[in-house]
């Protein structure tokens, strides 16, 4: 098997395009078994991220993506996106410093948090990350004190009457009707507001929510111009699903709205902050069944007041990752609906049973899924979950001493060759 180094702490296994993915899962599980290890592990397809970058550029050519680091701050992911020329949406000092350390220009970073600690604003000034969002007066005063030359984006609330998987509610964004008064305050403080941002929520299935938010941003642009500002940036936030069948039509609606309200001749720079879009499909997680029980029997009465136990045809499996680990997003309701649960060695045509999957901790609420249909599994069998790249590795704890999953990278050799052509001896970034 061919491996390439990608930075000093990351090896990428290269394989041909025709290699079935489940074969890769099986081989990795077998390899670990040889080493007497039973850890849960992620397989990361770096090639999938490359494809997502290509699809973005094809569907939204006017929109510059700034990857939302919080969604998955894996070093290899960040390094790859930096290599591909993507910008970054950072929300804290730590996120900014990681990106700056990768050698990314500060102009390719937006500090997209509207309620920032003063220390973080000071840090942004030090490293010259000068584009940042705000939605309240107090924030303007802090920015005036610590980074008066920053360029600001006013974050507005998205329209509320649309379906998104995870809405941000009232925590961030000002109402469109508050915009003028905030802009007046900014003007009085001598601050440079350069545009509008919004974030419609995570997991968008209908593009109309973007269209409505773009309309509302256009209104704020007009108000700002009336107040003497020269707005020239629109940031349409994140929320995009990565599945092409969902992304393409949503992107089409957004593109049409942008062409209508912000036609190219207006010379407005359009940016976005996609998180889950780039990473959700690239990561799969494989866990091992560490214990198994029959579902607790039901206590049943025979009608004469005599109680007995009635066995249920159901199984409970305990696996080595759970809601305090990579499945925390299940409890938040943001796990990907396209996730597939695939036993890696399914007995051919085996009967399927109602099954529950429990995490490994002592928390009685550490249940990942109930009522999934699975063939009967044995202790030591492995199960693969697809679509595990968004809001997974960043939300894990080591509660109960459960280790975090291992991470292995792979990529199709032709994609890798295009990324780092061997004849040009492209040096991989060393960080």
**Interface residues toward ligand PLP, by CB under 6 A:** 68, 70-71, 89, 112, 199, 202, 237-240, 273-277, 390
Beta-carbon count within 10 A of 20 CB? 8
Q: 153, 131 in Cβ contact below 8 A?
A: yes
Least distance from C-beta 339 to ligand PLP, angstroms? 16
Q: 32, 38 in Cβ contact below 8 A?
A: yes
Q: Give the separation between CA 311 and CA 297, rounded to whole angstroms.
A: 5
Least distance from C-beta 43 to ligand PLP, angstroms? 21
* Closest CB to ligand PLP among residues 320, 329: 329
Least distance from C-beta 152 to ligand PLP, angstroms? 14
Question: What is the 3-state composition of the chain as percent helix, strand, coil, each rounded to the nearest 5?
Answer: 35, 25, 40
- Give whole-number Cα distances, 27 to 19, 208, 341, in Å: 12, 44, 18
Least distance from C-beta 161 to ligand PLP, angstroms? 19
Least distance from C-beta 4 to ligand PLP, angstroms? 28
Q: Give the separation between CA 147 and CA 30, rounded to whole angstroms.
A: 54
Tell me 271's DSSP state.
E
362 is catalytic: yes
* Closest CB to ligand PLP among residues 70, 324: 70
* Closest CB to ligand PLP among residues 74, 273: 273
* Closest CB to ligand PLP among residues 43, 91: 91
Which string of DSSP letters, residue by residue, matches 149-190? T-EEEEEBPPPSSS-EEE--TTSS-B-GGGHHHHHHHHHHHT
* Closest CB to ligand PLP among residues 240, 385: 240
The neighbouring-strand residues paired with 133 are 153
Q: Which residue has the tokens 């041909």?
A: 16
Closest CA to 426 of 100, 6, 105, 1: 6
Least distance from C-beta 326 to ligand PLP, angstroms? 16
Residue 273 exposure: Cα atoms within 13 Å on the Cβ side: 26
- 407: helix, coil or strand? strand
* Closest CB to ligand PLP among residues 112, 323: 112
* Closest CB to ligand PLP among residues 272, 357: 272
Q: Which residue has the tokens 């601050």?
A: 191
Q: What's the residue count for the chain?
A: 431
Tell me 425's DSSP state.
T
- Pairing verdict, β 283-294 and 41-45: antiparallel
* Closest CB to ligand PLP among residues 258, 319: 258
Least distance from C-beta 390 to ligand PLP, angstroms? 6
If 0-12 CB within 10 Å is exposed, 13-18 middle and 19+ buried, where does residue 17 land?
exposed
Catalytic residue (choose from 10, 362, 411, 412): 362
If 0-12 CB within 10 Å is exposed, 13-18 middle and 19+ buried, where does residue 128 land?
middle
Tell me 349's DSSP state.
T
Q: Give the separation between CA 303 and CA 282, rounded to whole angstroms.
A: 55
Least distance from C-beta 69 to ligand PLP, angstroms? 9
Please give the positions annotated as active site: 362
């Amino acid at each position: 098997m061919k491996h390439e180094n990608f930075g000093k702490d990351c090896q990428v296994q290269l394989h041909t395009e025709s290699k079935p993915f489940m074969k890769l899962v099986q081989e990795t599980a077998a390899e670990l078994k040889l080493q007497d290890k039973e850890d849960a592990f992620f397989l990361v397809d770096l090639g999938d991220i490359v494809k997502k970058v290509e699809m973005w550029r094809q569907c939204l050519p006017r929109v510059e993506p700034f990857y939302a680091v919080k969604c998955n701050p894996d070093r290899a992911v960040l390094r790859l996106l930096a290599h591909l020329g993507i910008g970054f949406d950072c929300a804290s000092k730590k996120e900014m410093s990681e990106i700056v350390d990768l050698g990314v220009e500060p102009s390719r970073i937006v500090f997209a948090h509207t309620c920032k600690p003063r220390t973080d604003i000071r840090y942004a000034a030090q490293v010259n990350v000068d584009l940042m969002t705000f939605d309240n007066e107090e924030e303007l005063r802090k920015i005036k004190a610590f980074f008066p030359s920053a360029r600001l984006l006013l974050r507005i609330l998205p329209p509320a009457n649309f379906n998104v998987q995870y809405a941000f509610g009232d925590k961030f964004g000002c109402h469109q009707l508050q915009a003028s008064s905030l802009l007046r305050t900014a003007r009085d403080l001598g601050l440079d507001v350069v545009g509008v941002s919004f974030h419609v929520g995570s997991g968008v299935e209908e593009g109309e929510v973007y269209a409505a938010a773009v309309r509302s941003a256009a209104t704020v642009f007009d108000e700002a111009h009336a107040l003497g500002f020269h707005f020239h940036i629109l940031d349409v936030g994140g929320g995009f699903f990565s599945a092409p069948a969902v992304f393409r039509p949503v992107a089409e609606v957004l593109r049409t709205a942008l062409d209508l309200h912000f036609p190219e001749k207006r010379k407005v720079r359009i940016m976005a902050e996609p998180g889950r879009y780039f990473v959700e499909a690239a990561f799969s997680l494989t866990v091992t069944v560490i214990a198994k029980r029959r579902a607790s029997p039901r206590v049943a009465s025979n009608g004469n007041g005599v109680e007995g136990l009635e066995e249920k045809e159901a199984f409970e499996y305990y696996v080595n990752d759970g809601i305090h680990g990579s499945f925390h997003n299940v409890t938040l309701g943001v796990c990907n609906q396209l996730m597939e649960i695939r036993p890696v060695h399914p007995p051919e045509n085996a009967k399927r049973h109602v099954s529950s999957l429990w995490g490994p901790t002592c928390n009685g609420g550490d249940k990942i899924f109930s009522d999934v249909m699975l063939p009967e599994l044995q202790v030591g069998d492995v199960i693969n979950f697809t679509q595990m790249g968004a809001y997974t590795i960043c939300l894990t704890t080591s509660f109960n001493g459960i280790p975090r999953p291992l991470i292995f990278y792979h990529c199709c050799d032709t994609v890798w060759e295009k990324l780092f052509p061997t004849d040009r001896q492209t040096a991989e970034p060393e960080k």
